[in-house]
Structure 1
Amino acid sequence: MYEKGNVTDVKISTDRRTLITDMISGAVIECDKRGKRRVFLEHSEMVEPWASAFLSDGSIVVTSRKARVVYIFGPNGEFQQTFGKNFFQRPCGVAVDKLDRIIVSDCLAGEVSVHDRSGTWLFNLRSTVSPAQQFSNPQYIHVTDKNIIVVSDTGNHSVKLFNDKGEFLKSFGKFGKEDGFLKSPHAVCSDSAGQLIVADHYNDRVSLFSSDGEFRCHLLTSEDGLLHPQGVILSTDGKMFVTHGQMKANEVIVYKFQRKKRTFLEPNFMPLFDE
């Protein structure tokens, strides 16, 4: 257990560096393979960090909800800059695409914006199809290997897909507990085949969808001891990291992700943080 924190996000770099964002402690923590942790990124004004992402040179981007800015740190943890002052109302999710553009969700403003490496605003993701396809409390962002931008639209209980130009592609999920339905989806990630893995927060499960949003199966449920999952990420060596907890995400669990006739998870798991 990670009793004193709230792990809102977990990210793994291509060289298998594991970073967890602890909103309560106000820091991003790096962990080794045995779960030993050390404070890696912190700043005196970085209050309530929510999510992090890796830039192509190993630098790290971190959103801070309370400071209302985005921080950029160098590969070794040295502070570089902030951006978004007087622009963001409550930045939450963050991802980096193949062009090294920084994509940020603002859960209070209900917007998702795209910025260049220096933080300059480029454009917002937006669907003009209908008001129902606008964002309501967007919280997490993921970019697939095909550069599809995936947004968990928590307030609308759905997941929305956009191309790299910010054009709306489709939405899937709606409020409910049936297969394929969602209740406040949180983090999203994808596997090498483009399948989408969604932390279905208030349904206490992690579900697998096709790249087009077709429901495949539940990977984890409350029967596996899962409670309110928040962060989820898949590593290059086939491990899935999930943050969860009853009142706050105080545990990170690692599962072995396998592929046979269909994708599934081994039932055994190990706590990454067990004090």
Structure 2
Amino acid sequence: IVQRPTALAIDSWRDNIIITCPGSGRIIVLDRKFKVVRKIRHQEMIAPQGVAFLQEHDEIYVTDKWKHCIFVFNHKGELVYRMCNKGYGESELCSPEGIAFHPERSVLYIADTGNNRIQILEKDGTYLDSIGPKNKSTKNTVKFRKTSSSVSQLNQPTDVAVTITRVVVADSGHHKVKIFNHDGQILQSIGGIGTAKGLFRSPEVLKIDNKGYIIVGDAGNGRVQIFSPEGKFLRILGVKKTQGYKFAWISGLLVTNNYDILVSDSKNNFVHLF
């Protein structure tokens, strides 16, 4: 059913699971028995990557990594509109991946991976702000927040999760998870490159559950790591090989209201439930 399954999201109106599959250029919608409800495809969409569901408007937002844009579909799979284009300026994207909405507002956060930043947009694509470094390629086009510390800089951020008080970023190129407030100030940096507990090799995806726990898809180490809301390491799921499966590349995470954890593996073409 799934070819290179990547991001996961919940249709909160129907309790369906939404999966992006860049291997087939499709979005697959499953019910809770993992039966296919709908396959969404559009002739212009090449590599659907990140996905987020906007409950207020009953819409599915999907980043396309190779089209450098965002497609918006209704729950029936019909295209509502497409927004953003390739570039380095405001509301422009370069190889975007993860995407998330603010929990209380229709404000969109995009891991603008190729531009080393998180862009913050209105739901229609209107630019609001960015979290990320100022560099030569963007200094004349993007108004970044002022920051005095390189610890806040991002290198190939691949995913973002948002709470009322925090913006949590998978800073994959630095092998860290970074936590910002909504003023763009760095609050905490977790991890660093390595294989020990609490360290990462290319943390690809992350989610925050309803209690504030941070769940990280540590793709290069083939495992999921769980941290407390304060950033303390707690436990590991899926170390190398468990019950006959082995994660090759963790490409998506989803935490349900029942605290089940779904993990997609784009290289093994499966979604596993913990």
Partner of 1:40, secondary structure, is strand
Aligned length: 250
- Structure 2, gaps ≥5 residues long: 87-91, 134-146
Partner of 2:6, secondary structure, is strand
Identity score, percent: 28
Matched, 1:226 2:246: yes
1:267 alignment counterpart: none
Partner of 1:108, secondary structure, is helix
Partner of 2:9, secondary structure, is strand
Deviates more, 1:45-54 or 1:222-231: 222-231
Q: Distance in 2 between matches of 1:116 and 1:19?
A: 22
- Structure 1, gaps ≥5 residues long: 256-275
- Runs (4+) of structure 1 exceeding 6 A deviation are none
Q: Distance in 1 between matches of 2:251 and 2:231?
A: 19
Q: Distance in 2 between matches of 1:149 and 1:165?
A: 10
TM-score, normalized by length of structure 1?
0.85
Deviation string, structure 1 residues 36-60 (Cα, Å, up to 9, x no partner): 2254332111111101001132211
Deviates more, 1:162-171 or 1:63-72: 162-171
Query: What's the RMSD between the two structures over aligned residues?
Result: 1.7
Instruction: Find 1:100's aligned residue among 87, 90, 106.
Output: 106
Matched, 1:136 2:155: yes
2:212 alignment counterpart: 194
Contact 2:16 2:32 in 1 (8 A): no
Q: CA deviation at 1:76?
A: 2.5
Structure with the bigger RCO (C-alpha within 8 Å, sep 6+) is: 1
Contact 1:27 1:39 in 2 (8 A): no
Deviates more, 1:36-45 or 1:24-33: 36-45
Contact 1:125 1:168 in 2 (8 A): no
Q: Distance in 2 between matches of 1:133 and 1:165?
A: 12
1:116 alignment counterpart: 122
Matched, 1:211 2:229: yes
Paired residues for 1:1-275 under 5 Å: 5-15=3-13, 16-57=15-56, 58-86=58-86, 87-97=92-102, 98-126=104-132, 128-144=147-163, 146-224=164-242, 225-227=245-247, 228-244=249-265, 248-255=267-274
1:261 alignment counterpart: none
Q: Distance in 2 between matches of 1:21 and 1:29?
A: 6
TM-score, normalized by length of structure 2?
0.85
Q: Distance in 1 between matches of 2:67 and 2:185?
A: 29
Q: Distance in 1 between matches of 2:188 and 2:43?
A: 40
2:140 alignment counterpart: none
Partner of 1:202, secondary structure, is helix
Q: Distance in 1 between matches of 2:31 and 2:117?
A: 35
Deviates more, 1:157-166 or 1:175-184: 157-166
Q: CA deviation at 1:150?
A: 1.3
Contact 2:72 2:79 in 1 (8 A): yes
